[in-house]
Amino acid sequence: MNDKPELRQNIVSKEWVLVAPGRRRRPDQFSSTGKDKPTPVTKCPFEDPQKTNEVGPLMWYSKKGAERRFIQKHDWLLQVIPNRYPAVDTHRGKTCPVPRNMGIYRSMQGVGLHEIVIPRSHTKFLADMTDREAELIIRAYQDRILYHRDEQCLAYIFIFHNHGSRAGASVWHPHSQILALPIIPPDIQRSLSGSKLYMLEHKKCAHCEVIRHELKTGERIIYKNKHFIVIAPFASQVNFEIRIFPILHRGRFEDISSEERLLLASALVTVLRKLKKGLKNPAYNFFIHTAPILEDREYDYYHWHLEIFPKTSHLASVEHGTGVEILTVVPEEAAAYLRKI
């Protein structure tokens, strides 16, 4: 591997990252050093969510399947509840917020929906789950998008998961979050714009081209199955960044089949186990980038995917001041390290 610094450009966002292998540490030296202290079950707000929420679950799942009518039992496997401390004002209705001018500035009412997806176990994290257990979480993601996507005041539904306090998880109990907004977030808009521009210039989907190239070379592939490929991106934004793509072109995550859900769960569990073993359970964020739910627009040029960002380093002046991320582990080395675990 060449030790000379190299600038790499993301073909979708056009953003550059700096790969600086001369500052390299061995991949296994990025292991997590800080450990979160488990919250006792008796003090966990998610152990019995109905004790800390004034309303019942929005949706709950038992061995029998999905339900919207909640009967107070202890046989639930997973439930979706409103976030007690929402980032937005809960809003449903026909009167949608509109931007307003404030001199040289613009603002808009911060409305939307904020929900929490809670699996039953207090200590079983995604890396510890079976494929079927993880598939239920993915099903909840899909069900909630399908439930909300006809809400006319919403533009985007963001699915994300924080693992560990360094990644922003304020509660020890495993959980994911769903944030629905009346705008398309800036990072999503950049991804959409870049994908559209690539399609206009090359008449091909940018992410499909990435998948074809990675399948051909194999050097950045971490894992793959029938429907999904897991790679370390060529222009990773952080050390050990991971992306999971559906191999076939799909614009919307919520359109996946039950078979694809299970294989997505398998891919996700597999790579999270690799991170847990190879980097000694680092904190991480993952989120799903999918097409907006605006029905009056076509997003055939987009390719949904899941991104995982382990917390292995801290941003410093260069990253904050220039927007150029510095990688000390070459993506090909990261992929090779995780692939063999």
- Contact assessment for residue 183 and residue 155, using Cβ atoms and an 8 Å cutoff: yes
Q: What is the CATH number of the domain that holds 291?
A: 3.30.428.10
Q: Is residue 195 part of a domain?
A: yes
Give the chain's domain count. 1
pLDDT of residue 220: 98
Residue 95 confidence class, pLDDT cut points 50, 70, 90: confident
Q: Is residue 40 part of a domain?
A: no
Number of residues that this document lists for the chain: 341
pLDDT of residue 339: 96
| Nearest Cα to Cα of residue 283 among 188, 177, 174 | 174
Residue 198 confidence class, pLDDT cut points 50, 70, 90: very high
Q: Is residue 36 part of a domain?
A: no
Residue 224 confidence class, pLDDT cut points 50, 70, 90: very high
Q: Is the pLDDT of residue 178 over 90?
A: yes
* Higher per-residue confidence, 24 vs 199: 199
pLDDT of residue 94: 64
Q: Is residue 167 part of a domain?
A: yes
Average pLDDT over residues 3-13: 83
Q: Is residue 231 part of a domain?
A: yes
Task: Kindly report, residue by residue over 291-321, the tens digit of the pLDDT.
Answer: 999 866 789 999 999 999 999 877 666 666 7
pLDDT of residue 28: 66
Q: Is the pLDDT of residue 26 over 80?
A: no
Residue 25 confidence class, pLDDT cut points 50, 70, 90: low
- Give 121-126's long-range contacts (Cβ < 8 A, gap of 24+): 121/174, 122/41, 122/44, 122/46, 122/47, 122/172, 122/173, 123/38, 124/174, 125/163, 125/174, 125/272, 126/161, 126/163, 126/174, 126/268, 126/269, 126/272
Q: Is residue 29 part of a domain?
A: no
Q: Is residue 304 part of a domain?
A: yes
- pTM for the whole structure: 0.92
pLDDT of residue 176: 97
pLDDT of residue 33: 55
* Higher per-residue confidence, 185 vs 97: 185
- Report helix angle 331-339 to 258-278, nearest 10: 100
pLDDT of residue 317: 66
pLDDT of residue 260: 98
**Domain coverage including residue 246:** 122-313+331-339
Q: Is residue 169 part of a domain?
A: yes
Residue 27 confidence class, pLDDT cut points 50, 70, 90: low
pLDDT of residue 177: 96
* Higher per-residue confidence, 123 vs 28: 123
